[in-house]
Amino acid sequence: MVKKYIFGAPFETDAVVCGPEECSREYDAQNGTITTENGFCFHYELNDTDVIYGLGEANRGINKRGYIYVSDCSDDPDHSEDKTSLYGAHNFIIISGARNIGLFFDYPAAITFDIGYTKQSVLEVSCERADLYLYLITGDSAYDVAKQFRKIIGKSYIPPKYAFGFGQSRWGYKTAEDIENVAKGYRENKIPLDMIYMDIDYMQDYKDFTVNSERFPHFPEFVKKMRSENVRLIPIIDAGIKIEEGYDVYEEGAEKGYFCKREDGTDFAAAVWPGWTHFPDVLNPDARAWFGAKYERLISQGIEGFWNDMNEPAIFYSKEGIDTLNETIKEYADYLKNKEKSGEDTPADGLFDELMDNARALPSRVKGAFENLQNSPDDYRRFYHNVNGKMIRHDLVHNLYGFNMTRAAAEAFEKIAPDKRILLFSRSSYIGMHRYGGVWTGDNKSWWSHILLNLKMMPSLNMCGFLYTGADLGGFGCNTTRDLLLRWLALGVFTPLMRNHAALGTRNQECYRFENVDDFHHIISVRYRLIPYLYSEYMKAAQNDDLYFKPLGFVYPDDKIAIQTEDQLMLGNEIMIAPVYTQNVSGRCVYLPEEMMFAKFCPDGSIYTQVLDKGHHYVEIALNEVGLFIKKGKRIPLVDVAQSVEEIDMSTLTWLGYEGAEYELIEDDM
Ligand code: MIG
Q: Quick check: 382 and 268 in contact, CB under 8 A?
A: yes
Distance, in Å, from the CA atom of 576 to the CA atom of 129, rounded to the nearest integer, reads: 42
Atom of ligand 1 nearest to the CA of 170: 5
pLDDT value of residue 348: 61
Mean predicted confidence (pLDDT) in 610-614: 98
Distance, in Å, from the CA atom of 121 to the CA atom of 564, rounded to the nearest integer, reads: 18
Rg (CA), the chain: 26
Distance, in Å, from the CA atom of 410 to the CA atom of 287, rounded to the nearest integer, reads: 14
pLDDT value of residue 334: 82
Quick check: bond before 313 cis, omega within 30?
Answer: yes
Same fold? 2-153, 534-657: yes
Side chain identity at residue 482, one-letter code: R
Q: What is the pLDDT of residues 539-548, one digit of tens each?
A: 999 999 999 9
In 291-305, which positions are buried (b, 16+ CB within 10 angstroms) versus exposed (e)? bbebbbebbebbbbb
pLDDT value of residue 349: 65
Most distant CA pair in the chain, distance: 97
Pocket test for ligand 1, best of 78, 79, 203, 310 (most atoms within 8 A of CB): 310
pLDDT value of residue 502: 98
- Stretch (H or E) spanning 145: helix 142-153
pLDDT value of residue 344: 57
Q: What is the pLDDT of residues 216-226, one digit of tens each?
A: 999 999 999 99
Mean predicted confidence (pLDDT) in 432-449: 98
Distance, in Å, from the CA atom of 216 to the CA atom of 235, rounded to the nearest integer, reads: 13
Task: Tell me the three-class secondary structure of 628-662, residue by residue.
Answer: EEEECCCEEEECCCCCCHHHCCHHHCEEEECCCCC
pLDDT value of residue 345: 57
Atom of ligand 1 nearest to the CA of 200: 2
**Predicted confidence (pLDDT) at residue 360 exceeds the cutoff of 90:** no
pLDDT value of residue 346: 55
pLDDT value of residue 335: 76
Distance, in Å, from the CA atom of 644 to the CA atom of 167, rounded to the nearest integer, reads: 10
Whether domain 2-153 has CATH 2.60.40.1760: the reply is yes
Q: What is the pLDDT of residues 244-272, one digit of tens each?
A: 999 999 999 999 999 999 999 999 999 99
Atom of ligand 1 nearest to the CA of 77: 3
**Beta strand 635-638 pairing with 498-500:** unpaired
Q: Which of 26-30, 278-282, 656-660 shows the lowest mean pLDDT across its residues?
A: 26-30
CA of 238 to the centre of ligand 1 (A): 9
Whether domain 534-657 has CATH 3.30.360.10: the reply is no
Q: What is the pLDDT of residues 552-598, one digit of tens each?
A: 999 999 999 999 999 999 999 999 999 999 999 999 999 999 999 99
Mean predicted confidence (pLDDT) in 649-668: 96
**Predicted confidence (pLDDT) at residue 135 exceeds the cutoff of 70:** yes
State the pLDDT confidence band at 654, using cuts at 50, 70 and 90. Answer: very high
pLDDT value of residue 343: 59
Pocket test for ligand 1, best of 203, 425, 443 (most atoms within 8 A of CB): 443
Return mean pLDDT, the chain: 96
- What length is written for the chain? 670
Mean predicted confidence (pLDDT) in 375-382: 97
Task: Tell me the three-class secondary structure of 232-293, residue by residue.
Answer: EEEEEEECCEECCCCCHHHHHHHHHCCECECCCCCECCEEECCEEEECECCCCHHHHHHHHH
Bridge partner list, 500? 168, 473
Please report how many Cα atoms fall inside a 13 Å half-sphere around the Cα of residue 159, on the Cβ side.
27
Atom of ligand 1 nearest to the CA of 236: 2
Q: What is the pLDDT of residues 456-509, one digit of tens each?
A: 999 999 999 999 999 999 999 999 999 999 999 999 999 999 999 999 999 999
Q: Which of 154-158, 355-359, 644-648 shows the lowest mean pLDDT across its residues?
A: 355-359
| Dihedral in degrees, nearest 10, Cα atoms 576, 581, 583, 588 | -30
Distance, in Å, from the CA atom of 8 to the CA atom of 131, rounded to the nearest integer, reads: 4
Instruction: Enumerate the domain spans of the chain.
Output: 2-153, 319-373, 534-657
**Beta strand 92-96 pairing with 51-54:** antiparallel
CA of 74 to the centre of ligand 1 (A): 13
Q: Which of 20-34, 150-164, 408-422, 456-470 shows the lowest mean pLDDT across its residues?
A: 20-34
CA of 477 to the centre of ligand 1 (A): 10
pLDDT value of residue 416: 98
Per DSSP, the three-state class of 592 is strand
Pocket test for ligand 1, best of 170, 198, 208, 309 (most atoms within 8 A of CB): 309
pLDDT value of residue 372: 84
State the pLDDT confidence band at 357, using cuts at 50, 70 and 90. Answer: confident
Mean predicted confidence (pLDDT) in 610-624: 98
Distance, in Å, from the CA atom of 670 to the CA atom of 612, rounded to the nearest integer, reads: 38
- Stretch (H or E) spanning 601: strand 596-601
CA of 205 to the centre of ligand 1 (A): 15
pLDDT value of residue 114: 99
